[in-house]
Amino acid sequence: MRDADTFNSGRELRLAARSGAFHRPTSGEAPGYVQANLVILPRDWAYDFLLFAQRNPKPCPVLEVGEAGSPETAILADRADIRTDLPLYRVYEKGELVEETGEILSRWRDDFVFFLLGCSFTFETALLQAGLRLRHQEEGVNVPMYRTNLVCRGAQRFLDSPMVVSMRPFAPADAIRAVEITREYPAVHGSPVHLGDPAGIGIADMGAPEWGDAVTIREGEIPLFWACGITPQLAALVSRPPLMITHAPGYMFLGDRADHEFRLSG
């Protein structure tokens, strides 16, 4: 199900990304280590985004916020460099995607603040350990992600904007288990926001995800939809901050902390 050459730790993957050697989606990589979405904004926009995240905790569960000007992590990983340690970045200027790039060293500014948000890849370990199978991993592709008609509540200059979801199909008994298990992980999107008919949340064509790749849904399977950390990228398209840098969908930050640390403890 996984490559033989997968990484043994989040740090190993980060160093491979830093050197430019690793540039694939990260689902299933360095199993057992936390994965996270990245958002970087100028300090002037940091309160707006933190409040947007507070108002929309399912798509935007904040795990770490950097100090203005510092690209160094302290909570999810010991001194990772947020400018080089992800496999792929996206740069948005006034809501337009202007570049996809392997590092952002030359773009870094003294007023940048980074945010790391929980990612559903973190609870995938728990799903696999429970004996469930993940179709996108079986098919060797990126998880499919869709824009929905669920609305995130705006905050300051971040406007109301659509929630993005990731989708995983399961047979009914496994779907129930998947709800039970992911409910235990509220810091990494928690339980699904929808299951069953895609039209119920405004998805017209399951074969054409806006991000990631389509996967097979077999006869009798039910699609489950989880809030997704790509949601801030869609908010950026709508709200047009002067500059915002994110990870590329599916190409996540890998931390030093274990997935199970994000299991609900209270």
Applying CB under 8 A, which residues contact a second copy?
46-47, 50-51, 54-55, 58, 62, 65, 155, 182-183, 186, 189-193, 264-266
Nearer to a second copy, 65 or 97 (CB): 65
Nearer to a second copy, 16 or 82 (CB): 82
Nearer to a second copy, 46 or 104 (CB): 46
Nearer to a second copy, 136 or 189 (CB): 189
Q: Which segments within 108-160 are labelled E, that is strand?
A: 112-118, 145-152
DSSP string, 169-229: EE-HHHHHHHHHHHTT-GGGT-S-SEES-GGGGT---TTS-SBS------TT-EEEEEE-T
Q: How far is the CB of 162 from a second copy (least distance, A)?
A: 19
Q: How far is the CB of 65 from a second copy (least distance, A)?
A: 6
d(CA 145, CA 227): 9
Amino acid at 149: N
Using DSSP bridges, classify how beta strands 222-227 and 161-170 pair: parallel, antiparallel or unpaired.
antiparallel
Q: How far is the CB of 102 from a second copy (least distance, A)?
A: 29
Which of 42, 20, 25, 157 is CA-nearest to residue 107? 42
Nearer to a second copy, 87 or 223 (CB): 223
Sort 204 into a burial class: Cβ within 10 Å, 0-12 / 13-18 / 19+. exposed
Q: How far is the CB of 128 from a second copy (least distance, A)?
A: 20
Q: How far is the CB of 50 from a second copy (least distance, A)?
A: 5
Which of 224, 227, 226, 225 is CA-nearest to residue 171? 224
